[in-house]
A and B are shown apart, each in its own frame.
Chain A
């Protein structure tokens, strides 16, 4: 861990200069709602609507719960009648279907919570591109260091034994309460392998009771039919299983255990059969990037609703396979392919690469499908407007990670940078730190990320910038518009790491270039 004094920035931050702008200026579509939401009066109204009351819930949450609620009796029914009628009128004017809105918005607690948090964020920070949130919209919790596999690229460096200072069950339940009290709507449980620990179940039950939208990332080897059914019972809405190749041997070699592929595939089948939304997550390196089409087909054939691309970041054990990281050119082609798959509409495609949002804008049609963030998507220019506010890298802005010992970091891939400890501090204290303010302000970046016309949609991957340069505000060396930075890093690597240089030269002679600096 690299702790640093509260309110300060990590050493070496913000030292990269801005680059010359390479992109042509974009005429961004606007929406009337933007003017309304940025008005000072609206901010005041939102602040009142989103402020937590004595019972911990905001007026907005109570309004949503009581909207058209047939269980209300007597005075309560009369009291909420007028607001319900006003909402009905608003929906009719906007041409929205009342039943759908009731099911998917007003009576869906995580969505209500997300909207309440958004209202609170606009009230607190104003309408900003991208939007800085008053609390995390989405938290990824690496609940344990324990894993039954030994994957080559593991960012967590997980293994068979838990970390010595992992949270106890009681502390884990307190973390869930802390997240719920701060109005966090979405929680993803990852690891290690979350299914390998017994504490998972009480944590899931508590989180479900507290109204959190739950998702789970697993290697799938322990995802039996019974486990899948239990996950469904515990309110898990989405399960993501990691599969890195359509070829079992390739996957097993990558994951460090024979038979892992077959178990993961069976795990996906079990989750689909249990009726949970299921995703196939693939991490692409130079070894398997040519298999992207096969992988998408595999996901579709297994009945997955989502294909999830994990952007390989050389951290943890992945540091040892730095030379397998995609070049910016390879990543660009990969994202183009994924964007095309998303437009085809056969399967939902999400990516942890913030450039995916930019790729959807650059390559997709104006009324096509856009990725709005790491997990969202939508069609048309209205979605594109939304993507400007919530799109791109969310680290420290709308998302953070919790490590197995309760340490909070900006992202799962930046586990070496501790910003707070949930054992000793509240989430609110941690969230309002200087580093997260820096990460939320995309104009305070280096290289091309500082001047890029797609800044609102992307912002560059902070984990990759930090991993390669040691500067969390540097440009993302994985983006084609940052090729000068990539070249600079390749030259440094060639000087400092003669072993890599030799590999580079050998590969060049063999016709392939597997190191930073070429394809």
Chain B
């Protein structure tokens, strides 16, 4: 009988230890996830504002007598901004992954509209 009690005690302590360890691990993971989430949100916030600042200034540049060659580059910047916008939408709404992929796919493979540099 005393052996059974000791065994039960040891088992209980071992279980408690395992549970405490698992809880600590869970908390660590949750904390880590929170930190990543904060970091991601902060990065997304800065990136969205930077993208919108670029977009605004590209629109302004288009009206400053940009010539044909410059316009081609502005088109490229705007296409890149569209891609950034789609990626940022993914951060805001992680469930919209498929939509984002669909939005990104044609742009990645779209032919370059800039000057022909091959020849």
Report if A27-B41 is in contact (Cβ < 8 Å); known contacts: A329-B64, A366-B46, A518-B65: yes
Which residues of A have CB within 8 Å of B41? 27, 29
Which single residue of chain A is at the shortest CB-CB distance from B65?
A: A518
Which single residue of chain A is at the shortest CB-CB distance from B58?
A: A480
By the criterion CB–CB under 8 Å, are A24 and B53 in contact? no
Determine whether A327 belongs to the interface, using a CB cutoff of 8 Å to chain B: yes
By the criterion CB–CB under 8 Å, are B48 and A332 in contact? no
Q: CA of A517 to CA of B60 in the docked complex: distance in angstroms?
A: 10
Determine whether A328 belongs to the interface, using a CB cutoff of 8 Å to chain B: yes
Give which listed residue, B55, B88, B89, contacts A22 with CB less than 8 A.
B55
Report if A329-B45 is in contact (Cβ < 8 Å); known contacts: A23-B52, A24-B88: no
By the criterion CB–CB under 8 Å, are B49 and A329 in contact? no
Report if A518-B91 is in contact (Cβ < 8 Å); known contacts: A22-B55, A26-B45, A453-B48: no
By the criterion CB–CB under 8 Å, are B81 and A24 in contact? yes
By the criterion CB–CB under 8 Å, are A24 and B85 in contact? yes
By the criterion CB–CB under 8 Å, are B63 and A483 in contact? yes
Expressed in whole angstroms, the minimum distance between the Cβ of A427 and any Cβ of chain B is: 38
By the criterion CB–CB under 8 Å, are B65 and A24 in contact? no
By the criterion CB–CB under 8 Å, are A27 and B45 in contact? yes
By the criterion CB–CB under 8 Å, are A23 and B42 in contact? no
Q: CA of A343 to CA of B115 in the docked complex: distance in angstroms?
A: 40
Determine whether B92 belongs to the interface, using a CB cutoff of 8 Å to chain A: yes
Chain A at the B interface: SS class: loop
Expressed in whole angstroms, the minimum distance between the Cβ of A62 and any Cβ of chain B is: 41
Interface size on B, residues (CB 8 A): 28
Give which listed residue, A25, A327, A481, A513, contacts B56 with CB less than 8 A.
A481
Which residues of A have CB within 8 Å of B64? 329, 518-519
Most A-side CB within 10 Å, residue of B42, B44, B59, B65 = B59
Which residues of A have CB within 8 Å of B60? 328-329, 332-333, 480, 483
Expressed in whole angstroms, the minimum distance between the Cβ of A269 and any Cβ of chain B is: 38
Q: Give the contacts of B1-53 with A (CB-CB under 8 A).
A: 41-42, 44-49, 51-53
By the criterion CB–CB under 8 Å, are B56 and A332 in contact? yes
Determine whether A89 belongs to the interface, using a CB cutoff of 8 Å to chain B: no
Which single residue of chain A is at the shortest CB-CB distance from B40?
A: A27
Which single residue of chain B is at the shortest CB-CB distance from A519?
A: B64
Which single residue of chain A is at the shortest CB-CB distance from B60?
A: A329
Expressed in whole angstroms, the minimum distance between the Cβ of A350 and any Cβ of chain B is: 21
By the criterion CB–CB under 8 Å, are A24 and B48 in contact? yes
Give which listed residue, B47, B49, B63, contacts A518 with CB less than 8 A.
B63
Expressed in whole angstroms, the minimum distance between the Cβ of A154 and any Cβ of chain B is: 29
Determine whether A362 belongs to the interface, using a CB cutoff of 8 Å to chain B: yes
Determine whether A361 belongs to the interface, using a CB cutoff of 8 Å to chain B: yes
Expressed in whole angstroms, the minimum distance between the Cβ of A273 and any Cβ of chain B is: 41
Determine whether A363 belongs to the interface, using a CB cutoff of 8 Å to chain B: yes
Expressed in whole angstroms, the minimum distance between the Cβ of A368 and any Cβ of chain B is: 11
Expressed in whole angstroms, the minimum distance between the Cβ of A383 and any Cβ of chain B is: 14
By the criterion CB–CB under 8 Å, are B53 and A362 in contact? yes
Expressed in whole angstroms, the minimum distance between the Cβ of B95 and any Cβ of chain A is: 14
Which residues of A have CB within 8 Å of B61? 329
Q: Which 6 A-B pairs have the closest CB atoms?
A: A329-B60, A24-B85, A480-B56, A24-B51, A24-B48, A27-B44
Q: 28 A–B contact pairs at CB < 8 A?
A: A23-B52, A23-B55, A24-B47, A24-B48, A24-B51, A24-B55, A24-B81, A24-B85, A24-B88, A25-B48, A25-B88, A27-B41, A29-B45, A328-B63, A329-B63, A329-B64, A332-B60, A361-B49, A362-B52, A366-B42, A453-B48, A453-B52, A480-B56, A481-B55, A481-B59, A483-B62, A513-B65, A517-B63
Q: A24-B84, A366-B46, A454-B52 are in contact. List 15 more A-B contacts (CB 8 A).
A: A23-B55, A24-B85, A24-B88, A25-B48, A26-B48, A27-B41, A329-B64, A361-B49, A362-B53, A362-B56, A366-B42, A480-B56, A483-B60, A483-B62, A518-B65
Q: Which residues of B contact A (CB under 8 A)?
A: 41-42, 44-49, 51-53, 55-57, 59-65, 81, 84-85, 88-89, 91-92
